[in-house]
Amino acid sequence: MAAALRPRRLTRSAHYVVALAVLLVVLVPVIYAVLGGFRTTGQISANPVGLPRPWVFDNYREILGSDTFWRQLRNSVVVAALTMAVIVPCASLAAFALARFEFAGREAVYALFTIGLLFPLTVAVLPLFISLRTADLLNNPLGVALPQAAFGLPTSIIVLRPFFRAIPAELEEAAALDGCGPFRFFYKVALPLSRPVLATVSVLAIVSSWNAFLLPLVVLSQPDQWTLPLGVTNFSTQYSSDTARVLAFTSLSMIPALVFYVIAERQIVRGLASGALKG
């Protein structure tokens, strides 16, 4: 035992060193971006690596004071909320049916949905653009939310189905005895039981909608409809010479995602872990 312990202490320190190194590589770019916003471009050109000297608040202040950032933030929120509002009902209904009903072609339908995992949204972007144009859904948050929901269905259904499967038969029998039909059972029993995984699906839908770039780029060409990723990209090219300002805008755009993440981290991690691996 003692012999086993000594190498363990060495490896233990090695563990910490490695973990620390990785932590640095992860955090430094983020810190760089945030600190960069507190400097002027002149400072950054003169000394790319350095603390703000002096601390400049104008960049952050101007952005927070301007319409643009808040409008884009609002647009991102609207699109994410719409996406979630569409995906959760559709996916849970479908996953429930695929989990608890037996019917001919069930696995085929499930496979149809899983195939959707391999369509990059990008493959469908050109025809979608044309369809949305015909349906007059361009420059409309729904024009982004609906396709995003459609492409998010596969992941959601894949995550949800095992959960619905796992609801014990006894519960269902009891419900049936009480005269509860499939819809009531779904709504009154299955959904509440699946709240954690529904939360996970919502979180995934929100995160992926929040960060989406290509579809909004193509659908939302009017600047007042832009979501944050579009705004950040445009800002970075429009003020391409003002590095400090670009970093400030980028950092501010990180914040909503980070805040959301800190709150929802447990949820995401738990959901991913158990949803994907349920045995």
| Binders of other proteins in range 161-200 (CB under 8 A) | 161-162, 165, 167-173, 176-187
Between the alpha carbon of residue 96 and those of residues 68, 86, 102, 279, the distances in Å are: 42, 16, 11, 18
The helix-helix angle for 243-277 and 195-210 (nearest 10°) equals 150
Which of the ranges 51-59, 138-146, 192-200 carries the binding residues for other proteins, by CB under 8 A? 138-146
User: Can you read off the two tokens belonging to residue 185?
Assistant: 């059972």
Residue 48 within binding range of other proteins, rule CB under 8 A: yes
Alpha helices in 101-222 (DSSP H): 106-115, 121-134, 141-165, 169-177, 182-184, 191-193, 195-210, 214-219
Placement of tokens 């003020």 in the chain = 239
Residue 69 within binding range of other proteins, rule CB under 8 A: no
Residue 1 within binding range of other proteins, rule CB under 8 A: no
Residue 215 within binding range of other proteins, rule CB under 8 A: no
| In the complex, least distance from residue 61 CB atom to other proteins, rounded to whole angstroms | 19
Q: Interaction with other proteins in 224-243: which residues (CB under 8 A)?
A: 224-225, 228-229, 232-234, 236-243
- Tell me how many residues contact other proteins (CB under 8 A): 146
The DSSP 8-state label assigned to residue 190 in this structure reads: I
Half-sphere exposure of 91 (CA within 13 A, CB side): 33
Closer to other proteins by CB, 55 or 101: give it.
101
Question: Which among 64, 68, 161 is positioned nearest to 111, based on CA atoms?
Answer: 161
Closer to other proteins by CB, 49 or 55: give it.
49
Residue 65 within binding range of other proteins, rule CB under 8 A: no
Q: Interaction with other proteins in 102-121: which residues (CB under 8 A)?
A: 102-103, 106-107, 109-110, 112-120
Q: How many CB atoms lie within 10 A of CB 131?
A: 13
Are the CB atoms for 51 and 35 separated by under 8 Å?
yes
Residue 253 within binding range of other proteins, rule CB under 8 A: yes
Closer to other proteins by CB, 2 or 241: give it.
241
Closer to other proteins by CB, 65 or 121: give it.
121
Alpha carbons 275 and 158: distance in angstroms, whole number: 8
Residue 53 within binding range of other proteins, rule CB under 8 A: no
| In the complex, least distance from residue 49 CB atom to other proteins, rounded to whole angstroms | 5
| In the complex, least distance from residue 102 CB atom to other proteins, rounded to whole angstroms | 4
| In the complex, least distance from residue 72 CB atom to other proteins, rounded to whole angstroms | 12
User: Can you read off the two tokens belonging to residue 210?
Assistant: 């929040």
Residue 146 within binding range of other proteins, rule CB under 8 A: yes
- Phi-psi label, residue 105: left if phi above 0, alpha if psi -120 to 50, beta otherwise: left
User: Can you read off the two tokens belonging to residue 11?
Assistant: 């490896």
Residue 128 within binding range of other proteins, rule CB under 8 A: yes
Closer to other proteins by CB, 91 or 205: give it.
91
| In the complex, least distance from residue 29 CB atom to other proteins, rounded to whole angstroms | 5
Handedness of CA 88, 150, 153, 151 (dihedral sign): negative
